[in-house]
């Protein structure tokens, strides 16, 4: 199989079949927290894409370094360090360039640090693609597309939630209950991709 088709499979897998939020259930916190408006959801999505892509690249290199010295068990702590730095960087960047997005993301921006989806990407990169040729490229593609998958899920969900705002919902379901039901329906819809094969 050529590299291009391999990368394509990785992309489709990360975006649809193994969607981080709706199939793997990683990164649920910002998924529910920042999905009230499409605009903020998009901003959050792009922030996550950036962090995931950079984290994939850097953690791949860090893993090589750790393996070189035989201290692979420090993986988690080292990865979290990398992710924290990246998130800090994104935070500074947004505060300077898009202050309105910065304030609307609020606490969820620094919380990307502890977003398990980001750490999940880094760990999965190591376990899935370790040792293979071009694994660095695959890692970065997987990280980026995983971020795109997250963005897709959160933007879709925000669109649904915006509609929910103006619909007639029974009193006892208003707020979080209907949100969770909607999320699970969306998740079931994404399960439909699991039969996809090439």
Partner 1 sequence: MEILLPVVIIGGMGLLFGALLAVAAKIFEVKKDERIPLITECLPGANCGGCGFAGCAAYAEAICTEGAKVSLCPVGGNGAAEKIAEIMGVEAENIERMVAFVACMGTPDVAKDRYANNEAISCHAANRLAGGMKGCAYGCLGCGSCVEKCSNGGIAIVNGVAKVDKELCTNCGACIAECPRGVIIRIPYSSRAAVFCNSKAPGKEVRLVCDAGCLGCGICAKNCPKEAIVVENNVARIDGSKCVGCGICVEKCPKKCIELINKNAKIQVAVEVNKRT
Q: Using the minimum distance from each CB to partner 1, give the nearer residue, 75 or 135.
A: 75
**47 close to 112: Cβ distance less than 8 angstroms:** yes
CA distance 70 to 76: 14
Widest distance between CA atoms in the chain: 61
b/e map 118-151, b = 16+ CB within 10 Å: bbbbbbbbbeebeeeeebbbbbbbbbbbbbbbbb
Q: Using the minimum distance from each CB to partner 1, give the nearer residue, 92 or 185.
A: 92
Q: Using the minimum distance from each CB to partner 1, give the nearer residue, 5 or 64.
A: 64
Q: Cβ of residue 39: shortest distance to partner 1, in angstroms?
A: 20
**104 close to 40: Cβ distance less than 8 angstroms:** yes
Q: Using the minimum distance from each CB to partner 1, give the nearer residue, 80 or 178.
A: 80
- CA angle centred on 184, ends 168 and 141, rounded to 5°: 125
Q: Cβ of residue 37: shortest distance to partner 1, in angstroms?
A: 18
14: which 2 tokens? Answer: 């990360």
Q: What's the half-sphere exposure (Cβ side, CA atoms, 13 Å) at 168?
A: 0
Residue 89 within binding range of partner 1, rule CB under 8 A: yes
> What is the pattern of x (binds partner 1, CB under 8 A) and - over residues 90-119?
--xx-xx--x--------------------
Q: Cβ of residue 69: shortest distance to partner 1, in angstroms?
A: 6
Closest alpha carbon to 149 in 6, 2, 4, 31: 31
Q: Cβ of residue 70: shortest distance to partner 1, in angstroms?
A: 8
Q: Cβ of residue 87: shortest distance to partner 1, in angstroms?
A: 11
* Stretch 26-85 residues interacting with partner 1 (CB under 8 A): 62, 65-66, 69, 71, 74, 77-78, 81-82, 85
Could you list the residues that contact partner 1 (CB under 8 A)?
62, 65-66, 69, 71, 74, 77-78, 81-82, 85, 88-89, 92-93, 95-96, 99
């Amino acid at each position: 199989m050529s590299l291009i088709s391999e990368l394509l499979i990785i992309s489709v897998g990360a975006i649809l079949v193994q969607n981080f939020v709706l199939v793997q259930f990683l990164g649920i916190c910002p998924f529910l927290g920042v999905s009230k408006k499409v605009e903020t959801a998009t901003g959050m999505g792009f922030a996550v894409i950036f962090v995931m892509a950079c984290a994939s690249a850097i953690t791949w290199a860090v893993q090589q370094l750790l393996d070189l010295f035989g201290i692979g068990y420090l993986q988690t702590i080292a990865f979290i360090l990398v992710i924290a730095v990246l998130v800090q960087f994104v935070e500074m960047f947004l505060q300077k360039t898009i202050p309105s997005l910065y304030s609307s993301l609020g606490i969820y921006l620094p919380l990307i640090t502890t977003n398990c989806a980001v750490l999940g990407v880094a760990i999965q990169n190591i376990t899935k693609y370790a040792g293979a040729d071009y694994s660095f490229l695959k890692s970065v593609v997987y990280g980026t597309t995983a971020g795109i998958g997250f963005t897709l899920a959160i933007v879709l969900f925000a669109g649904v939630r915006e509609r929910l705002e103006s619909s007639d919902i029974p009193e006892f379901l208003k707020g979080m209950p209907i949100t969770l039901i909607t999320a699970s329906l969306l998740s079931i819809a994404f399960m439909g991709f699991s039969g996809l094969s090439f």
